[in-house]
Amino acid sequence: MLKLDNVSTFYGKIQALHHVSLEINRGEILTLIGANGAGKTTLMMTICGTPRAQSGHIVFDGRPIQQMKTSDIMRQGLAVVPEGRHIFSAMTVEENLLMGSFFRSRNEAAAQLDHVLTLFPRLKERFNQRGGTMSGGEQQMLAIGRALMSQPRLLLLDEPSLGLAPLVIQQIFEIIERLREEGVTIFLVEQNAHQALRIADRGYVLENGSIVMSGSGDALLNDDNVRKAYLGG
């Protein structure tokens, strides 16, 4: 579905990604784990076109997207939940969600709104509340819900567990699994390696901007090196 081939990204002179190649298949949860500064977020943002990949190819559904404008890439059927949620804090939950379906017709948006609200009953309770007045977990749900409003085929999630309580993280991961059942392909970037690998079909380990290991979620979870480095022995 999405294929990265030999992608390198630079911030000025500093190389953040070294010839990264990975592939996301339809209907799976793919997770990318790595330490702080390994380049996880950079990789995700490179897919979105900011920063732009300096070399290599990014192909989504058979179409090369590495030269497209960010705004055009985001209309191709992939959606991103940026790190740190970035909800519109002065807007209500409803308006936040409707911003997600900006390029959809009114009917499509209404149908998708119903769907998102059944996925996140909590958002229905908070429907007319300002985004900024909600708790971190609710905001994360809102960010995911907003991304889903565009009916994406591929959802990119950047650290959805960031700064949330364990119980809330649990809920978020349950929802991610639900989304897979509905046929949304998910690319999950996580620090929380244990939980991410448990629900993932496959995983990649990123270290200093290169992929050092890949395999099924279970295989990585039981790998000695991964255990030592990311799961605390």
Partner 1 sequence: MHRAIFPALFAAGVTFLLTCLVVGIRLEQEGASLTVVGADAETWGWIAFAVIGVFLVQLLQQPLQRLRQRLPTADITGLLPNEMLLHRLKPWLIALVVSGLLVWPFMVSRGAVDLATLTLIYVMLGLGLNIVVGFAGLLDLGYVAFYAVGAYTYALLSEYYGLSFWMSLPLAGLLAAVFGCLLGFPVLRLRGDYLAIVTLGFGEIIRILLNNWTSLTGGPNGIGGIDKPSLFGLEFSRRASEGSQTFHEFFDIDYSSGHKVIFLYLVAVLLVLLTIYIINRIQRMPLGRAWEALREDEIACRSLGLNPTVIKLSAFTLGASFAGFAGCFFAARQGFISPESFTFIESAIILAIVVLGGMGSQMGVICAAIAMTILPELAREFQEYRMLMFGGVMVLMMLWRPQGLLPMKRPHLELKTS
* Residues in contact with partner 1 by the rule CB under 8 A: 48, 50, 69-75, 79-82, 86-91, 95, 98-100, 102-103, 146-147, 150
Phi, psi of 142 (to 5 degrees): -65, -40
HSE value, Cβ hemisphere, 13 Å, CA-based, for 123: 25
Q: Please give the helix or strand (H or E) that residue 124 lies within, else none.
A: helix 121-125
Instruction: Characterize the bridge pairing of strands 154-158 and 78-81.
Output: parallel
CB of 104 to partner 1, least distance (A): 11
**C-beta closer to partner 1: residue 90 or 165:** 90
- In whole angstroms, give the CA distance from residue 9 to residue 87: 27
Q: Is 34 left (phi over 0), alpha (psi -120 to 50) or beta?
A: left
CB of 204 to partner 1, least distance (A): 22
**C-beta closer to partner 1: residue 126 or 146:** 146
Q: Where are the beta strands (DSSP E) in the chain?
A: 2-11, 14-24, 29-34, 55-60, 63-64, 78-81, 154-158, 185-190, 202-207, 210-216
CB of 62 to partner 1, least distance (A): 20
**C-beta closer to partner 1: residue 41 or 192:** 41
Strands ordered across the beta sheet of 14-24: 14-24, 2-11, 55-60, 63-64
CB of 4 to partner 1, least distance (A): 19
Instruction: Characterize the bridge pairing of strands 185-190 and 55-60.
Output: unpaired
Q: Helix, strand, coil % (nearest 5) of the chain?
A: 40, 30, 35
**C-beta closer to partner 1: residue 150 or 192:** 150
CB of 71 to partner 1, least distance (A): 4
**C-beta closer to partner 1: residue 55 or 71:** 71
CB of 100 to partner 1, least distance (A): 6
**C-beta closer to partner 1: residue 7 or 98:** 98
